[in-house]
C-alpha cells in the first residue's frame, strides 16, 4: 500500500516538473536570428560615388582635405541625414557643409565662420533666346570642385575664400565656355552663354550621268 502511494507521488511530481518545464520554455523570449547589419569598407572616391548614386547628392571637395587612399567603414542600413553624412568625413582637420543637395568637404582652419566662405549664385541662360540652361557644368579651374545648374538654370557655388581670384568655368555642350574670377564677396550673377558653331568646308554636290562614269 505504501509502495503504491510512493509511485503515485512520484508520478504527480514528474507531471508537475514537466508542466513547469513547458511553461518556462514557452515564456522564454525567442533568440533573435536577425543578422547584424554589414558594413562596407570603401575608399574616399568610392564612398562619394556611392552616396551620390544612393541619395542623389553632388560633392565638392578640397583634394588636400582627405587622401584618396583613406578607407571608410560605412553602415548603409542607417537612414541618411546631414549629421550622419557629415560624421563620415569630419575630423580634427576636415569640415563638412551643405547647400541643398551639394555636400562640401574642406579643410578646417580654426573655428568655421561665414566670412571664410564665398557664395556665387545666379542663373545661366542661352544668350540668343534668353531661356534657362539646365545641367551647365560650373567648376573651379584646376581644382576638383564644381556644381551644375538645375532645371531652372539656377545654381549656387560655395568656395573657400582662399580661392579668391581663381577662375570659374561655365561649360555646356554646344556653347562657348564662359569664365569669371572668384569674387571677394558673395555675388549674384546672370550668365548668358552663346552657342558655339564650327564652320565646315564647303561641300559641292554635282550630278553626273552614271552611264558616263561606267
Does 43 score more than 80 pLDDT? yes
Does 171 score more than 90 pLDDT? yes
Grid cell locating 101 = 543637395
Does 29 score more than 60 pLDDT? no
Band (pLDDT 50/70/90 cuts) for residue 108 is confident
Rounded CA separation 80/163 (Å): 31
Residue carrying the nine cell digits 564647303: 202
* 34, burial (CB in 10 Å: exposed 0-12, middle 13-18, buried 19+): exposed
Domain ranges of the chain: 40-107, 114-193
Q: What is the DSSP string of 130-174?
A: TEE--S-EEEETTSS-EEE--TTSEEEEEEEGGGTTPEEEEE-TT
Rounded CA separation 135/210 (Å): 50
Rounded CA separation 112/127 (Å): 38
pLDDT tens digits along 65-90:
888 788 899 988 877 788 899 999 98
Rounded CA separation 171/139 (Å): 9
More confident residue, 133 or 207: 133
Contact 157, 102 (CB under 8 A): no
Verdict on whether the full-model pTM lies above 0.75:
no
Name the superfamily (CATH) of residues 114-193.
Answer: Carboxypeptidase-like, regulatory domain (2.60.40.1120)
What is the percent of the chain where pLDDT is above 70?
74
Band (pLDDT 50/70/90 cuts) for residue 192 is very high
pLDDT tens digits along 140-164:
999 988 999 999 999 999 999 889 9
Mean predicted lDDT score pLDDT of the chain: 82
Contact 167, 179 (CB under 8 A): yes
Does 37 score more than 60 pLDDT? no
Which of the following CATH numbers is that of domain 40-107: 2.60.120.10, 3.10.310.30, 2.40.340.10, 3.55.50.30?
A: 3.55.50.30
Grid cell locating 42 = 570603401
Q: What is the CA radius of gyration of the chain?
A: 34
Grid cell locating 192 = 548668358
Separation of CA 88 from chain center: 12
Count, residues in the chain = 214
* Residue 196 DSSP symbol: -
Does 25 score more than 80 pLDDT? no
Band (pLDDT 50/70/90 cuts) for residue 165 is very high
Amino acid at each position: 500500500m505504501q509502495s503504491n502511494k510512493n509511485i503515485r507521488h512520484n508520478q504527480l511530481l514528474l507531471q508537475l516538473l514537466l508542466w513547469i518545464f513547458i511553461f518556462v520554455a514557452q515564456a522564454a523570449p525567442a533568440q533573435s536570428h536577425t543578422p547584424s547589419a554589414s558594413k562596407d569598407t570603401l575608399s574616399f572616391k568610392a564612398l562619394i560615388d556611392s552616396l551620390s548614386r544612393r541619395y542623389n547628392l553632388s560633392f565638392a571637395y578640397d583634394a588636400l582635405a582627405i587622401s584618396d587612399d583613406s578607407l571608410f567603414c560605412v553602415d548603409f542600413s542607417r537612414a541618411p541625414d546631414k549629421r550622419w553624412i557629415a560624421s563620415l568625413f569630419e575630423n580634427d582637420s576636415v569640415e563638412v557643409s551643405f547647400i541643398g543637395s551639394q555636400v562640401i568637404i574642406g579643410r578646417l582652419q580654426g573655428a568655421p565662420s561665414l566670412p571664410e566662405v564665398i557664395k556665387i549664385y545666379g542663373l545661366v541662360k542661352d544668350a540668343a533666346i534668353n531661356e534657362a540652361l539646365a545641367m551647365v557644368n560650373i567648376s573651379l579651374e584646376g581644382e576638383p570642385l564644381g556644381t551644375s545648374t538645375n532645371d531652372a538654370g539656377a545654381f549656387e557655388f560655395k568656395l573657400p575664400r582662399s580661392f579668391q581670384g581663381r577662375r570659374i568655368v561655365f561649360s555646356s555642350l554646344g556653347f562657348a565656355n564662359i569664365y569669371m574670377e572668384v569674387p571677394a564677396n558673395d555675388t549674384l550673377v546672370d550668365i548668358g552663354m552663346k552657342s558655339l558653331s564650327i564652320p565646315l568646308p564647303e561641300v559641292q554636290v554635282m550630278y553626273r550621268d552614271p552611264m558616263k562614269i561606267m
